[in-house]
């Protein structure tokens, strides 16, 4: 019941629908609630991990809040009730560390690399990063303010390619949408985003020597109301079972 | 002065309390922004080239969107208010759909209509080499899409309340429908027209979701103030607050200025009518 009230205050800051359901069920179960705030690129993988975790820990009920890493940090520092935070890059984790909102040390649970995302079947025959410099091509990238933007910038400078993007998207899904709807010819996104797009997009490999790596650190928050469950969840994500699920969505091992 | 006092005593206390709560509800977030604003660095953030570019683009695009809303919205409001035709309710709902649609969805829908692969957009691309996404015209379009209903709703309501006999008289005196519309109908609905235009403009100025989805974000071409504010929020919250305050200041100046100039202090006239 106490938890329910906490959840309600959090609703103003966090995704309402996801946290909202926590209260409805609390009335007839005594399960401890574990609030996991995770980067949106982890959505599919974490939902599956959550289901597997629930089998081993029937006494814990996970409530996820998926959003951009930067947004989640803002929510947590403003008092949203998070027990675990998983970021899509180190710099957003640093922001939470600087705000002194974490308990223990962050642990890297996965890595992600980049691919060129193009329309299904690659009709324009884009083969490498140098092709993106073609001024006729409609290229969209992420803005520097988000992890995928910094990654794209690193990748392009490693390859010595200068691209004039038509748009700098505020989130990686913005790039994906523009390519899957056919508005843009190509973009640079995480490998996992290409996989998540399924049949709506095709990925073009970026060679490892110019590619960038993004870390996904996870940590228990200082304000965690359920430290034990938080630790158990982090352990589970790092376990072979958790790692296998992450790998199936295209994440690389840490 | 005496007018004011009488108005105050006439207002029931519960209504006054609720009204004060409503004022605080709107004032507190603004005070919050002012409280957190980094005043010592504000000038640097404002005079930043990128900020000025975004502000200029925002003003230009929102004014274009307002002009288009008036140009197409007034005839639309007239059609909805005056012409009986089957399915009028459905047409009205359709034309105000973007008020309730999440703007990001509106942006995606615009893709499907006017994008490079859209129902109409593919022909614009093929026949005229015209592409709207990622252009300033795309920003204007996205803003018009979400802003026009505010004008339509306001003007339609005014047209419905208008005494139709005035127009009938004009026409029986031999005026053409166009002359009547210009010289009788338009002046009569002027306050509603201005209020609707201001509402549309305000909505266009603050537009974010449909713009970033349909037109994208590129400094100088499609990066408007709300997008600049949103992007700064993640990396430089201080700058975001300053930019947001600039946007608020501009809207305030225009809204207050317009009210005094065009509506002739309509609020005060309203109160004296209540008390007399």
The pLDDT profile of chain B, 276 residues, written as one tens digit per residue, is 444 555 555 778 899 999 999 999 999 999 999 998 999 888 888 888 889 999 999 999 999 999 999 999 999 999 999 888 999 999 999 999 998 899 989 999 998 999 988 999 999 988 998 889 999 999 999 999 999 999 999 999 999 998 888 888 888 998 898 899 889 999 999 989 999 999 999 999 999 999 999 999 999 999 999 999 988 887 788 899 999 999 999 888 888 877 666 655 444 444 434 333
| Unique residue bearing structure tokens 């809204």 | B255
Name which of A145, A181, A182 is nearest B231 (Cβ-Cβ). A145
Distances in whole angstroms, Cα of residue B135 to Cα of each of B57, B141, B222, B228 = 12, 10, 6, 16
pTM for this model (two decimals): 0.79
Distance from CA of B272 to the nearest CA of A (A): 41
Take residue B219 and report the two structure tokens written for it.
């400094």
Calpha distance A126→A185 (Å, rounded): 9
Name which of B112, B217, B234 is nearest A169 (Cβ-Cβ). B217
Contact A72, A31 (CB under 8 A): no
Answer yes or no: do A169 and B108 touch at CB < 8 A: no
Answer yes or no: do B133 and A183 touch at CB < 8 A: yes
Distances in whole angstroms, Cα of residue B153 to Cα of each of A89, B41, B76 = 46, 42, 10
Strand partners, A30: none
Q: Are strands A202-205 and A114-118 parallel, antiparallel or unpaired?
A: antiparallel
**Phi, psi (5° rounding) for residue A86?**
-120, 120
Distances in whole angstroms, Cα of residue A179 to Cα of each of A116, A120, B113, B218 = 11, 9, 16, 17
Distance from CA of A18 to the nearest CA of B (A): 18
Q: What is the largest CA-CA distance in chain A?
A: 61
**Average pLDDT in the A205-212 region?**
94
Answer yes or no: do A181 and B134 touch at CB < 8 A: no
Which candidate, B160, B148, B159, B161, places its Cα nearest to that of B197?
A: B148
Calpha distance B83→A246 (Å, rounded): 60
Which residues from B are below 8 Å from A166, CB to CB?
A: 134, 216, 218
Distance from CA of B233 to the nearest CA of A (A): 9
Q: Are strands A214-221 and A102-112 parallel, antiparallel or unpaired?
A: antiparallel
**Phi, psi (5° rounding) for residue B65?**
-60, -40
Which residues from B are below 8 Å from A71, CB to CB?
A: 234
pLDDT (tens digit per residue) in A64-103: 999 888 889 888 988 888 999 999 889 889 988 988 888 8
Strand partners, A205: A115
pLDDT (tens digit per residue) in A29-52: 567 889 999 998 899 999 999 999
A interface residues, B as partner, C-beta within 8 Å = 68, 70-71, 74, 138, 140, 143-146, 165-170, 174, 177-178, 181-183
A 10 A CB-CB count for B162 gives 17
Strand (E) or helix (H) holding B247 = helix B237-262
Strand order in the sheet with A139-142: A167-169, A139-142, A186-190, A114-118, A202-205
Strand partners, A84: A36, A220
Distance from CA of A175 to the nearest CA of B (A): 9
Which of B133, B135, B239 would you mutate first to test chain A, the one with the most A CBs within 10 A?
Answer: B133
Answer yes or no: do B115 and A165 touch at CB < 8 A: no
For residue B254, give the DSSP letter: H
Chain B nearest-CA residue for A95: B235
């Amino acid at each position: 019941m106490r938890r329910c009230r906490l959840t309600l205050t959090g609703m103003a800051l966090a995704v309402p629908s996801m946290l909202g359901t926590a209260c409805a069920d609390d009335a007839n179960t005594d399960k401890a609630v574990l609030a996991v705030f995770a980067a949106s690129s982890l959505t599919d993988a974490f939902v599956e991990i959550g289901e597997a975790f629930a089998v081993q820990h029937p006494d814990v009920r996970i409530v996820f809040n998926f959003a951009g890493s930067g947004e989640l940090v803002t929510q947590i520092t403003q008092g949203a009730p998070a027990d675990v935070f998983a970021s899509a890059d180190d710099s957003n984790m640093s922001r939470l560390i600087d705000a002194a909102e974490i308990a223990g040390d962050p642990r890297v649970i996965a890595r992600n690399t980049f691919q060129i995302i193009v329309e299904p079947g690659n009709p324009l025959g884009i083969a490498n990063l140098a092709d993106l410099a073609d001024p006729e091509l409609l290229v969209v990238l992420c803005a520097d303010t988000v992890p995928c933007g910094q990654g794209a910038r690193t990748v392009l400078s490693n390859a010595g390619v200068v691209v004039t993007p038509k748009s700098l998207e505020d989130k990686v899904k913005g790039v994906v949408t523009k390519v899957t709807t056919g508005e843009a010819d190509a973009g640079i996104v995480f490998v996992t985003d290409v996989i998540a797009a399924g049949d709506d997009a095709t990925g073009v490999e970026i060679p490892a020597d110019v590619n960038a790596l993004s870390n996904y650190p996870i940590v228990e928050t200082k304000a965690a109301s359920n430290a034990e469950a938080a630790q158990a969840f982090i352990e589970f994500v790092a376990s072979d079972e958790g790692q296998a699920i992450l790998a199936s969505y295209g994440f690389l091992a840490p | 002065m005496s007018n004011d006092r009488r108005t105050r005593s006439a207002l029931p206390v519960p209504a006054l309390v609720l009204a004060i709560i409503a004022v605080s509800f709107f004032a507190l977030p603004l005070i919050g922004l002012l409280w957190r604003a980094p005043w010592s660095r504000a000038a640097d953030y404002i005079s930043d080239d990128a900020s000025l570019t975004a502000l200029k683009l925002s003003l230009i695009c929102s004014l274009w969107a307002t002009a288009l809303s008036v140009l197409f919205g007034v005839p639309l409001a007239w059609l909805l208010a005056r012409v009986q035709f089957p399915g009028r309710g459905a047409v009205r709902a359709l034309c105000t759909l973007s008020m309730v649609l999440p703007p990001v969805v509106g942006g995606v829908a615009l893709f499907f209509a006017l994008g490079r692969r859209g129902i109409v957009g593919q022909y614009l691309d093929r026949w005229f080499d015209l592409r709207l996404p990622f252009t300033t015209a795309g920003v204007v379009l996205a803003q018009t899409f979400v802003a026009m209903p505010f004008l339509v709703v306001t003007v339609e309501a005014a047209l419905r309340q208008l005494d139709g006999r005035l127009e009938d008289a004009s026409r029986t005196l031999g005026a053409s429908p166009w002359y009547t519309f210009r010289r009788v109908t338009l002046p009569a609905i002027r306050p509603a027209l201005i209020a609707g235009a201001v509402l549309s403009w305000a909505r266009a100025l603050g537009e974010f979701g449909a713009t970033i989805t349909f037109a994208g974000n590129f400094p100088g071409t499609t990066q408007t103030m709300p997008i600049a504010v949103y992007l700064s929020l993640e990396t430089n919250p201080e700058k975001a607050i300053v930019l947001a305050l600039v946007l608020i200041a501009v809207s305030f100046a225009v809204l207050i200025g317009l009210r005094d100039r065009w509506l002739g202090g309509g609020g005060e006239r309203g109160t004296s009518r209540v008390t007399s």
